[in-house]
């Protein structure tokens, strides 16, 4: 009887990999992080030591040649596609950090490759695995919300701009806060809404503060000459079922909160706020306000998603975050930038 553990390779071994991905894998029984790869050799070495990995590489292609069960990809956004495709074609299941890609064409190419090879492809959308999100989702599926006719989605920060090139250089990131944090709040909202199809989108994406010094960064300074993405984006979305949505995302802006990461859904039976879990409705002519409860707080939603991905592989179950759902998320974000570029509303076929 084989005693071989489930083998994982991690590509892109920086902060997010060392902070949550590697610990998430190591928390699972009979799993080992067998190899890590990063273009920066000291980073690969440090992550390899953390994981107890047998192999460390500076070229991810060398990792791909190993006998691995799954690959976990934490590279900058625009580097996801070639790595994901290579992993799928080499017979490995793939977990990839958000955004899966910055264009719908790339997401579709990856998804079709996953279907052709019979391997799981899963985008890291860890907000779905928070206790607060699961509570709102369960409550909505119980019919309490009714039909959602409008949503407000916000991922707004006062002065929390990640200054590393992988975030602020468009050649690596493909976008600013819209792709960095907007993708999380948008995915969570759409998941609760049941993923209606977007049909018309108007948006704006621009730099208000990041080229100057009016708002200092609470995470430190950044290279203004390198900064080539937006620091603020907003959109108005129409869906095929008649629902609408506003989306706002920013790294810098004048507001009281350090971060407002939330969505509010307005339904025919009630309205609900995430992550607060507060709801408002009417019962027998009386106004009713309340708060959802959940048994415990999920402290490590990344680890929960990694466990769900691993379990799906072992059980032959569908991906915890199907690529066709990711396609809808990226379609909206892609259209925000296209609307800004063309100066008009984008109508989808």
Residues spanned by the domain of 225: 128-301+329-347
* Domain identity same for 36 and 88: yes
Whether 244 maps to a domain, the answer reads: yes
* Domain identity same for 87 and 214: no
| First-to-last C-alpha distance (Å) of the chain | 54
Burial of 274 (0-12, 13-18, 19+ CB in 10 A): buried
Whether 1 maps to a domain, the answer reads: no
Q: What pLDDT is recorded for position 2?
A: 60
Task: With beta carbons less than 8 A apart as the criterion, state whether 304 and 126 touch.
Answer: yes
* Domain identity same for 144 and 236: yes
- Digitized pLDDT (tens) for each residue of the chain, 349 residues in all: 467 899 999 999 999 999 999 999 999 999 999 999 999 999 999 999 999 999 999 999 999 999 999 999 999 999 999 999 999 999 999 999 999 999 999 999 999 999 999 999 999 999 999 999 999 999 999 999 999 999 999 999 999 999 999 999 999 999 999 999 999 999 999 999 999 999 999 999 999 999 999 999 999 999 999 999 999 999 999 999 999 999 999 999 999 999 999 999 999 999 999 999 999 999 999 999 999 998 777 679 999 999 999 999 999 999 999 999 999 999 999 999 999 999 999 999 8
Q: What pLDDT is recorded for position 295?
A: 76
Alpha carbon distance 164, 264 (integer Å):
31
Whether 322 maps to a domain, the answer reads: no
* Domain identity same for 58 and 139: no
Nearest to 69 by CA among 161, 6, 163: 6
Task: With beta carbons less than 8 A apart as the criterion, state whether 44 and 13 touch.
Answer: yes
Whether 220 maps to a domain, the answer reads: yes
Three-state SS across the chain? CCCCCEEEEEECCCHHHHHHHHHHHHCCCCEEEEEEECCCHHHHHHHHHHHCCCEEECCHHHHHCCCCCEEEECCCHHHHHHHHHHHHHCCCEEEECCCCCCCHHHHHHHHHHHHHHCCCEEECCHHHHCHHHHHHHHHHHCCCCCCEEEEEEEEEECECCCCCHHHHCHHHHCCCHHHHHHHHHHHHHHHHHCCCCEEEEEEEEECCCCCCCCCCCCCCCCCCCCCCCCCEEEEEEEECCCCEEEEEEECECCCCCCEEEEEEEEECCEEEEECCCEEEEEECCEEEEEECCCCCCCCCHHHHHHHHHHHHHHHCCCCCCCHHHHHHHHHHHHHHHHHHHHCCCEECC
* pTM, two decimal places: 0.95
Cα dihedral 97, 98, 102, 108, rounded to 10, equals 80
* Domain identity same for 41 and 87: yes
* Domain identity same for 59 and 201: no
Nearest to 65 by CA among 31, 90, 98: 90
Whether 219 maps to a domain, the answer reads: yes
* Domain identity same for 95 and 214: no
Whether 307 maps to a domain, the answer reads: no
Q: What pLDDT is recorded for position 1?
A: 44
* Domain identity same for 82 and 139: no
Whether 323 maps to a domain, the answer reads: no
- Domain containing 39 — which CATH number? 3.40.50.720
* Domain identity same for 111 and 146: no
* Domain identity same for 295 and 182: yes
- Domain containing 223 — which CATH number? 3.30.360.10
**Into how many domains does the chain fold?**
2
Conformation bin of residue 70: beta by default, left when phi > 0, alpha when psi is -120 to 50: beta
* Domain identity same for 218 and 93: no
* Domain identity same for 83 and 156: no
Task: With beta carbons less than 8 A apart as the criterion, state whether 243 and 144 touch.
Answer: no
For residue 97, give Cα distances in angstroms to 6, 20, 76, 89, 155. 20, 11, 9, 19, 18
Whether 270 maps to a domain, the answer reads: yes
């Amino acid at each position: 009887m084989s005693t071989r553990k489930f083998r994982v390779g991690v590509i892109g071994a920086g902060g997010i990999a060392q902070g949550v991905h590697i610990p998430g894998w190591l928390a699972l029984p009979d799993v080992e992080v067998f190899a890590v790869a990063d273009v920066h050799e000291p980073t690969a070495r440090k992550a390899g030591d953390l994981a107890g990995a047998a192999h460390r590489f500076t070229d991810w292609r060398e990792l791909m040649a190993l006998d691995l069960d799954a690959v976990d990809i934490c590279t900058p956004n625009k580097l996801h596609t070639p790595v994901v495709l290579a992993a799928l074609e080499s017979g490995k299941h793939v977990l990839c950090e958000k955004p899966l890609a910055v264009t719908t064409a790339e997401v579709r190419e990856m998804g079709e490759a996953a279907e052709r090879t019979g391997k799981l492809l899963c985008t890291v959308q860890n907000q779905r695995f928070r206790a607060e999100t699961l509570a709102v989702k369960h409550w909505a599926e119980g019919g309490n919300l009714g039909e959602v006719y409008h949503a407000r989605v916000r991922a707004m920060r006062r002065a929390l701009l990640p200054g590393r090139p992988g975030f602020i250089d468009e050649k690596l990131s493909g976008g600013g806060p819209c792709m960095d944090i907007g993708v999380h709040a948008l995915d969570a909202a759409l998941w609760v809404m049941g993923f209606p199809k977007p049909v018309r989108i108007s948006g704006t994406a621009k730099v208000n503060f990041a080229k100057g010094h009016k708002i200092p960064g609470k995470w430190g300074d950044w290279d203004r000459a390198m900064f080539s993405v937006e620091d603020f984006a907003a959109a108005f979305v129409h869906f095929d079922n008649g629902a609408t949505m506003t989306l706002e995302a920013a790294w810098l802006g004048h507001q009281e909160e350090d971060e407002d990461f939330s969505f509010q859904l307005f339904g025919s039976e009630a309205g609900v706020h995430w992550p607060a879990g507060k709801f408002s409705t009417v019962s027998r002519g009386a106004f009713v306000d309340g708060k959802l409860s959940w048994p415990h707080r999920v402290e490590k939603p990344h680890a929960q998603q990694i466990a769900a991905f691993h379990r799906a592989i072992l059980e032959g179950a569908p991906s915890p975050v199907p690529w066709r759902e990711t396609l809808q998320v990226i379609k909206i974000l892609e259209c925000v930038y296209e609307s800004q570029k063309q100066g008009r509303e984008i109508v989808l076929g």
